[in-house]
Amino acid sequence: MRAVDIIGVGITKFGKYIEKSLVELGGRVAIEAIKDAGIKPSQINAGFFANMQAGSLFSDFTIGQNVFWQAGINRVPVFNVENACTSGSSAFNLAWMGVASGAYDMAMVLGAEKLNVPNLGLMQSGTTELDTLEGMVVPVSFAMRANLHMATYGTTKEQLAMVAVKNRRHAGLNPLAQFRDPITVEDVLNAPMIADPLTRLSCCPNADGAAAVVLCASELSRRYTSRPVRVAASVLVTGSYQNPCNLAQWDADKRASSMAYEKAGLGPEDLDVVECHDAFTISEILHYEGIGLCPEGEGGRFVESGATSLGGKIPVNLSGGLLSKGHPIGATAVAQIIEGVRQLRGEAGSLQVEGAKVFLAECMGADKAGDVKTCTVNILIN
């Protein structure tokens, strides 16, 4: 396998784009990524497009080809990828594999989503699943984890709320985040209850948005940029679906991050910056433990210590996370990787972690049997 670099990125602000089509949003970031990489569209050997909901919301299919052609990419293989919240990082994993294998010298990964539609309702794991029919919707699934974590480890409602407060404080410094006004622990606790202990401010909002990256074989990347960012590991795992399931810990996080650390020859102590899938406040706490930032059960106390804030030991979700940016599903995990590229290029402005060298992005998607269907860990280095 060859080493692979990221040489170009493009991203929209996450928010409401009622008047813009998915193809326009995607086309815009494809063009931006090509310009950022300093390449011509004809140099892209393959395109991987990530989206989850356009099929059900807009009866729209095989959208990647439409999006890539907006940026002049045609004739080459184009794949449309759906893998719930990890659609973007799954597309990234495929593109990385394609370039690493030597099949392509250059590939584009692009995630785009439009969720601002009337009556979207709560996300669930598919209407043919028995769990869905018995009332499993995403917020209640995470509330069950939160309740168990609180009962098992003594995590408090206030500690859960601190995740949202911290990420919003970071978002205040990120012009691309959707919600940027500071909030307090009281604001989070007093917001309308969704599924106890998760209030509206404990759950990530919907958003529209798009994000793209250009991957290039490392042996060629210096022709195009003086600041390539290396993909040190790209891992995707699915759930083990073991019964009985453990809802207080995420085995998939542990398996995916262990594999990624091993491939990169690094450990959690080497990380400078992390983006993780904070769809709910409890998720971020579980991810701290899953990827080894703190011991099992300590996630609540870890956020309270300030370790994961800007200036702390290991800043997590400096972008503001999904909790402040919103969650345009297909774009989410690509945007996480772009945060890493900005940090490792030294372009993160007031959110810059001085001398950042190692970045980890974790993403997770979809419920099955008390486990997750998909979990990705990508490690970037400079």
Partner 1 sequence: MNSELKPVMEGIFDAGASPRLIGAICSKCNQKFFPKPMVCPHCLGEVEDVKLSPEGKLYTYAVLRTKAPYGLPQPYAVGWVDLEDDGLRIFSLLDPEKISELDFGKQVTLRVGAIGVDNNGQPCLRYYFTTKKKGCD
Site residues for partner 1 per CB under 8 A: 121-122, 124, 127, 130-137, 139-141, 143-148, 151, 192-196, 241, 243-245, 247, 370
Closer residue to partner 1 in complex, CB, 18/130: 130
What is the rounded CA–CA span in Å between residue 25 and residue 107? 19
Catalytic position from the list 149, 170, 277, 327:
327
Q: Compute the distance between CA of residue 66 and CA of residue 22 in angstroms, rounded to an integer.
A: 10
Q: Is 287 a catalytic residue?
A: no
Task: Tell me the closest approach of the beta carbon of residue 49 to partner 1, in angstroms.
Answer: 29
Distance in Å, CB of 371 to partner 1, minimum? 11
- Report how far residue 382's alpha carbon sits from residue 380's, in angstroms, rounded to the nearest whole number: 7
Instruction: Name which of 76 and 140 has its Cβ closer to partner 1.
Output: 140
- Tokens encoding 249: 């810990």
Q: With beta carbons less than 8 A apart as the criterion, state whether 110 and 64 touch.
A: yes
CA distance 52 to 129: 18
170 is catalytic: no
Give the whole-angstrom CA distance, residue 2 versus residue 229: 14
Nearest to partner 1 of 263, 368 (CB atom)? 368
Q: 1 vs 122, which CB is nearer to partner 1? A: 122
- Min. distance of Cβ 195 from partner 1 in angstroms? 5
CA distance 81 to 50: 5
- Residue 233: what residue type? A
Length of the chain: 382
Backbone angles phi, psi at 95, to 5 degrees: -65, -40
Q: Tell me whether residue 103 or residue 133 sits nearer to partner 1 (CB atom).
A: 133
Q: What's the min distance (Å) between Cβ of 85 and partner 1?
A: 19
Q: Report d(CA 376, CA 151) in Å as an integer.
A: 28
Identify the residue whose tokens are 């793209």.
Answer: 212
> Minimal distance in Å, beta carbon 148 to partner 1?
4
Write out the catalytic residue numbers: 85, 327
